Amino acid sequence: MDSVSAVLKRVISENGRDHVAGYAFAIVCLITVALTTAFTAWIMEAVINEAFANRRADLVWLICGSIFAAFVIRGFAGYGQAVTLSTIGNNIVARYQRRLFSHLMSLSVGYFSEARSARLAAQINENINGIRDVLNMTITSLARDLVTLVALLAVMFYQDIVLSLIVFTVAPPLFLGLRYISRRLRSATKESVILNSHVLGAIQEAVQGIAIVKAFTMESQLENKIQSTINAAEGRANRIARLSERNGPLTESLAGLSIAGVMAYAAYQSIYGGVLPGAFFSFVTALLLAYEPAKRLARLQVHMERAAVNARMIYEILDTQPNQRDKDGAQQMSVTEAKIEFRDVTFAYGSNEPVLRKLRFTAEGGKTTALVGPSGAGKSTVITLVPRFYDPAEGEILIDGQNIADVTKSSLRQQLAYVSQQPYLFEGTIRDNIRYGRPEATDAEIEDAARLANAHDFILAQAQGYDTPVGENGITLSGGQRQRLSIARALVRNAPILLLDEATSSLDTESEAAVQQALDAAMAGRTVIVIAHRLSTVVNADKIIVMQDGEVVEEGTHESLAQRQGGLYARLNNLQAAPNGLLISQE
C-alpha cells in the first residue's frame, strides 16, 4: 500500500458506501460552486460589450441581477458542501478512533510492551486525520476544483482558442516539477510524523512521571533529551515546508509567463485587429478565476502524499494481527475445582533467554499457592501466563484439565481476578474503579468489597465518598490507598481464581495486616496464586513453590521448607529475618 492510489482505494472501500448520500449532496454543491464561478467569467463579455461598448441600459439590470443570483447560489452551495464534508469527516475520524481502540484491545500485552504507550497514543493522534483528509481532498478536488477548472477552460476556449493554447504551454514543466517535489516529500513526511510522535510521547511520559522527575532532579537530563528530539522534528518540519512551498515559485513564475503572453497577444489583437474588449475581459476573468483551482490541483499531489503517509501509519496499526487469537472452535472455560497445572512450561520474552524452563507445578483447587524466590526467578511471569497475557513457547497450562490455549480468552479471564504489583486506577470515581471488576455489581457489593480490602473507612473520609474522582491514575490517593482499591476491584469480581502479584507490597505495616486478614477471608474456597512478600502471606499458604532461574527447586509448606538444611527457602528465610518476623525476598 505504498502508492496514494492504493491508500485512496482502501479508504473509499471502507467508507464510501456509508456516506454515498452525503458525498452526492456535497458533490452537487461543489459542482454548483464551479458552474456559478464559470458563469461569472462568461457573463463578463456581456457586461463589457453590452453595458460599456453598446450602452444597452435595458440589459444592465438583467446582467447585474444574474450576477447577484450567481453569488447567492454559490454562497449557499459552499456552505452546504463545507458542513456536509465536515460532518462526514468527523464521523470518519470517530469511526477510526473506535476501530483503533477496539483493535488495540484485541492485541496482546506483548505488543504494548514493545510499543511505548505514550508514543503510540501520540502517533494515533497525529495520524488519525489523514484518512479523513484523503477522502475530503479527493472529493473537493474533483467536484469543485477540477469541475471549476474545466468549466473556466471551456469559457476560455469559447472566447479565444489561441489565448488558451498560450496558457497551456506552461502545463508540462509544471507537472514535471510538482511530481519531483511530491516524491521528495513522501519520505520527509513519514520521518516528521515519527519524530513528532516521539516528542509528544516524551512530553507525556515526563508529565506522568513528574514526581520521579522532581525527586531525582531529572529536569535538565530530560530537557536535553527532549530538546534534541524537538530540534530534529523542527529540522524535518522545516524541510517539509521548503519542499511543500517550492511549488509556489514554480507555479507563480509559469503563471506569470502565461498571463504576460496572453496580455501581449490580446493587446496586439485590440490595437491592430479592432476586436471588441468584451471577449478579452471574459477570457482574462476566466483565466484569473481558474488560477486558484489550478494551483490547488497542482498542490493536490503534494497534500495527498502527506495525508497518505498519515493514513498508512494508521493502517499499519490496524493491520497488526493479534498473535493470541482464539483457536477455531475454542470452547468456553468451565471451572469447577479451579485446579491449575503447569506442565513443562518454557517461556521467553521475544528473542531473549528463557525466563521459565520446563516449569512444572500444581496449584490445588480452593487452596493458596505461594511463589517465592530471588529476584529474576520468574515469579511474576508465572502470574502473567495464567490469564494468557503471554503464551508459553513450550508446555501446557491447564485449569481443571482444560488447556487454556484451547478456550476463549474472554471465558478464561472471566474466571480470574488479578491484582498487579503496580496498582492502576482509571479516570472516574472510586465507585467506578471498583465496579470495573464486575460491571453489574450493586453499590452494596462494591461497599462490601471495599470493607474486605480495608478501604471503606478512607473512602468515606473523602470529600464525596465513593463518588470522589480519583484523578489521573489515582494521583489524589496514596500508594496504599490505590492498592486497596485495586484489591477491592479484584474482590468484587467474585472469581474462583485469584492472582496476587505482591498485592500488599505498597501497604504500610498496619494496612497490610488489615488487608491480609481480609484476603485470608476472601481466599477461602478460592484457588489463589500469590507472589509471597512477607511472612503473613507465606505462613498461611497451603503450598509454597520456591523458584530459581525459571525452575521449581523446592516445594512444601512454610514449616517444612524453613527447616530444610541448605535449602534455598531456608537461606532466604534466614537472610530476611527481622525482629518482628521473617520476611521473604521480594521480586
SS3 sequence of 76-128: HHHHHHHHHHHHHHHHHHHHHHHHHHHHHHHCCHHHHHHCCHHHHHHHHHHHC
Total structural domains in the chain?
3
Between CA 85 and CA 522 the distance in angstroms is 56
341, 543 Cβ separation under 8 angstroms: no
Using the 3D structure, point to which of 267, 284, 318 is the last residue of a domain: 318
Integer Cα distance of 251 and 255 in angstroms:
6
C-alpha separations of 511 from 364, 514, 582 in Å = 29, 5, 18
Query: In whole angstroms, how large is the CA radius of gyration of the chain?
Result: 35
Domain containing residue 482: 423-494
334 and 243 both lie in a single domain: no
Residue 503 lies in a domain: yes
Please indicate, yes or no, whether residues 228 and 364 belong to a single structural domain of this protein.
no
Q: Are residues 179 and 62 in the same domain?
A: yes
CA 100/CA 119 separation, integer angstroms:
15
Tens digit of each residue's pLDDT (9 = 90 or more) over 260-283: 776 777 677 666 666 656 677 777
Q: Are 468 and 429 in contact (CB under 8 A)?
A: yes
Among 521, 189, 154, CA closest to 146? 154
For residue 584, give the 3-state DSSP assignment: coil
Q: Kindly give, in sequence order, each residue whose CB lies less than 8 Å from that of residue 254, ignoring residues fewer than 6 positions away.
A: 170, 173, 174
The CATH number covering residue 152 comes to: 1.20.1560.10
Please answer whether residues 379 and 355 qualify as being in contact, where contact means their C-beta atoms are separated by less than 8 angstroms: no
pLDDT computed for residue 342 by the predictor: 96
Query: Tell me, what's the pLDDT at 365?
Result: 92
pLDDT at res. 476: 77
Identify which of 448, 536, 545 has the alpha carbon closest to the alpha carbon of residue 487.
448
Q: Minimal CA–CA distance to 427: which of 193, 208, 216? A: 208
Domain boundary at 289, 318, 347, which?
Answer: 318
Element (H, E) at 380: helix 379-385
- Does residue 309 share a domain with residue 376? no
- 3-state helix, strand and coil shares in percent for the chain, rounded to the nearest 5: 65, 10, 25
Give the SS3 label for residue 2: coil
Does residue 253 share a domain with residue 361? Answer: no
3-state SS class at 534: strand
Residues 450 and 392 in one domain: no
Q: Are strands 368-372 and 543-548 parallel, antiparallel or unpaired?
A: parallel
CB 356 within 8 A of CB 435: no
Are 351 and 366 part of one and the same domain? Answer: yes
Q: Is 283 helix (H, G, I), strand (E, B) or coil?
A: helix
234 found inside a domain = yes
Length of the chain: 587
Domain end point (choices 318, 335, 355) = 318
pLDDT computed for residue 463 by the predictor: 86
Q: Do both 459 and 549 map to the same domain?
A: no
Mean pLDDT by 10 residues, the chain (587 residues): 75 85 89 87 77 67 83 90 87 87 82 68 72 80 80 82 73 68 69 73 73 74 81 80 69 70 70 66 78 75 75 84 82 92 92 89 92 88 91 93 92 90 84 91 92 88 90 76 87 90 69 68 82 69 91 90 85 64 43
Let me know whether 361 and 453 are in one domain.
no
Same domain, 452 and 583: no
Task: Report the CATH number at residue 343.
Answer: 3.40.50.300
CA distances from 402 to 162, 179, 186, 330, 417 (A): 84, 60, 51, 11, 19
Rounded to two decimals, the pTM is 0.70
Q: Has residue 127 been placed in a domain? A: yes
- Specify the 3-state DSSP secondary structure of 552: strand
Residue 146 lies in a domain: yes
Do 229 and 367 share a domain, yes or no?
Answer: no
Specify whether 27 is located in the same domain as 12: yes
**Other residues' Cβ atoms within 10 Å of the Cβ of residue 171:** 13
Residue 133's pLDDT is what? 80
Task: Kindly state whether residue 157 falls inside one of the protein's structural domains.
Answer: yes
Residue 376 region by backbone torsions, left for phi larger than 0, else alpha for psi between -120 and 50, else beta: left
- Is 513 inside any structural domain? no
Joined together, the cell numbers standing for residue 380 give: 511474576
112 vs 388: CA distance, rounded Å: 14
* pLDDT confidence of residue 586: 41
DSSP 8-state symbol, 333: P
Cell numbers describing residue 129 = 486525520
Q: Which amino acid is at 339?
A: K
